[in-house]
A and B are shown apart, each in its own frame.
Chain A
């Protein structure tokens, strides 16, 4: 077990809490940077996709995992980001200018949608965001001037820093850099007053309000920040796909993002990466499994969504803290060995919640 001797307030503020953190995360980044040396293009593409999913996951995690607001239509923001980016690139705006514009546009779209929609809570909010996803899909179909409608929109792959986005190694590095930057941005938001206000809203709106947190403002802000992250992921996704069509941003993509944060672990940024790895490789895994199943089951088209749903239910029932939660338990088991108690993570029953306010 590690005991940290604290002598400065900065130790609680810093991202890396001790040298072990610094070592392991630096090592991870080094390995990620060195990956193109050992992996071929196919796997680099897959890992780039996982990076993109992680960025989108960070967006949804801030909204659902930290602010406690459900969203079943987050593919809409991926779409907003992707179409805006493709549109800007088509009009010969350079890549380095397009990305900030995408982030600002998705932020504003998030705020504009968030302000009215966040008057709803719980189940009704989930339904409203579900509708948002469908509406966005239709807007992408009908607004042909901007999106090319059902014909689709080819994404230009401009040169950036003298390299082409067709080069999978270069694209991998772009995704990796954006993931690391997004991670730092998210950590910074969460360790500052705004992030704490989000957590406060999640755990008790009434107390947050009595401590001076403007509920409407911070909920809308959370939606906007979430939109900005997801929009950035959408811009990168546009490069990854190469050709945008409205039906990419369907309900299934929204549910994939939801699965990502639930499986990864609600309320942890680590969880977004774990979850992205999981949902990134899952279709591959299912495709492999299909070959070994009897053809009556293996050739069913609905197999994938069904398994997604099943996994979601199993995680909510048996491991609500997701993969990251499981990892924490394993870590604690070895730290406390042999005195680990299963009860440590057992959620206490609270009886006093019936009579709130």
Chain B
């Protein structure tokens, strides 16, 4: 049984079908990559999974539980974390505060204990920090703890966003174009990290990506979308040689 399953998802914006009857399953521990030309519906798919868009039809299952009606802010409590294509960091906060927000779903304090900052509130901050420090060590962010996001270079920001997602202790991680805007070296580092997230932390990853050499290196399986429909899905080798995929990218 798959960890995560999308069944017959259709998303229509007026007459345009951004996604048309898309179904696939992702197994536990897999790195599953979604590729496709611009406007193929990849980001729409992510936004449906994180419940920002309402699908017109179809269901999504996570750990055999139907999450098509879950509130958007409860998705992360189930263990699904995501990053965004164009970075959605809290820009006027420090890296540390951004990462601590990743622990928000584990909040136990109420407003009264926070106003008086009781020992339990302090203890909770320490617990949050312990996990955050693990992630900081994992992604080499030690230098940037107290820096405002505003003052960080793009590559580091991307890292911080990945770190913030990891801080939620997810079971499933959705990465929306993790390598876009990164230099070659940064992309290589990212490849290692993604492999590490899979093998050391045991997190399943669904990733949208354009850089094909990067995709072939890290993915276990690939799904190709075009105009909201599935073109092909399978192992990297199969996708590379698939005639439909070639046509979608390069024409006749």
A191 partner residues in chain B, CB cutoff 8 A: 117, 125
B82 at the interface (CB under 8 A from A): yes
Tell me the nearest residue of chain A to B150, going by C-beta: A348
B218 at the interface (CB under 8 A from A): no
| Complex alpha-carbon distance, A126 and B82, angstroms | 32
A355 partner residues in chain B, CB cutoff 8 A: 85-86
Please tell me which stretch of B27-35, B108-116, B231-239 contacts chain A, meaning at least 4 of its Cβ atoms lie within 8 angstroms of it: B108-116
A203 at the interface (CB under 8 A from B): yes
- B75, A188: Cβ atoms closer than 8 Å: no
B151 partner residues in chain A, CB cutoff 8 A: 348
B81 partner residues in chain A, CB cutoff 8 A: 210-211
A209 at the interface (CB under 8 A from B): yes
**In the complex, what's the smallest C-beta–C-beta distance from B126 to chain A, in angstroms?**
5
A193 at the interface (CB under 8 A from B): yes
B52 at the interface (CB under 8 A from A): yes
B73 at the interface (CB under 8 A from A): yes
Given contacts A204-B90, A207-B88, contact A188 B101 (CB under 8 A): no
| 8 A Cβ contacts from A195-225 to B | 195-197, 199-200, 202-204, 206-215, 221, 225
Which of B43, B104, B130 has the largest number of chain A CB atoms within 10 A?
B104
- B86, A352: Cβ atoms closer than 8 Å: yes
**In the complex, what's the smallest C-beta–C-beta distance from A295 to chain B, in angstroms?**
47
A342 at the interface (CB under 8 A from B): no
- A206, B52: Cβ atoms closer than 8 Å: yes
Flag B88-110 by CB within 8 Å of A: 1 or 0 each.
Answer: 11111100110011111101010
**In the complex, what's the smallest C-beta–C-beta distance from B200 to chain A, in angstroms?**
23
A29 at the interface (CB under 8 A from B): no
A2 at the interface (CB under 8 A from B): no
Flag A235-278 by CB within 8 Å of B: 1 or 0 each.
Answer: 00000000000000000000000000000000100000000000
| Complex alpha-carbon distance, A196 and B168, angstroms | 15
Q: Is the interface of A mostly helix, strand, loop or mixed?
A: helix
Tell me the nearest residue of chain B to A66, going by C-beta: B92
| Complex alpha-carbon distance, A194 and B126, angstroms | 16
A13 at the interface (CB under 8 A from B): yes
Q: Is the interface of B mostly helix, strand, loop or mixed?
A: helix
Tell me the nearest residue of chain B to A356, going by C-beta: B86
A9 at the interface (CB under 8 A from B): yes
Tell me the nearest residue of chain A to B85, going by C-beta: A355
A12 at the interface (CB under 8 A from B): yes
| Complex alpha-carbon distance, A108 and B124, angstroms | 27
**In the complex, what's the smallest C-beta–C-beta distance from B38 to chain A, in angstroms?**
11
- B74, A212: Cβ atoms closer than 8 Å: yes
- A197, B92: Cβ atoms closer than 8 Å: no
| Complex alpha-carbon distance, A195 and B74, angstroms | 19
Q: Tell which of B76, B86, B126 touches A210, judged by Cβ atoms closer than 8 Å.
A: B76
- A193, B107: Cβ atoms closer than 8 Å: yes
B50 at the interface (CB under 8 A from A): yes
Q: Tell which of A199, A213, A267, A356 touches B73, judged by Cβ atoms closer than 8 Å.
A: A213
Known contacts A193-B103, A202-B90, A206-B52; 9 further A-B pairs (Cβ under 8 A): A185-B115, A188-B121, A192-B109, A199-B93, A203-B91, A210-B76, A210-B82, A211-B104, A212-B104
- A–B Cβ pairs within 8 angstroms, 13 of them: A9-B129, A10-B122, A13-B122, A189-B111, A192-B109, A196-B100, A197-B101, A197-B104, A200-B104, A207-B88, A211-B168, A212-B74, A355-B85
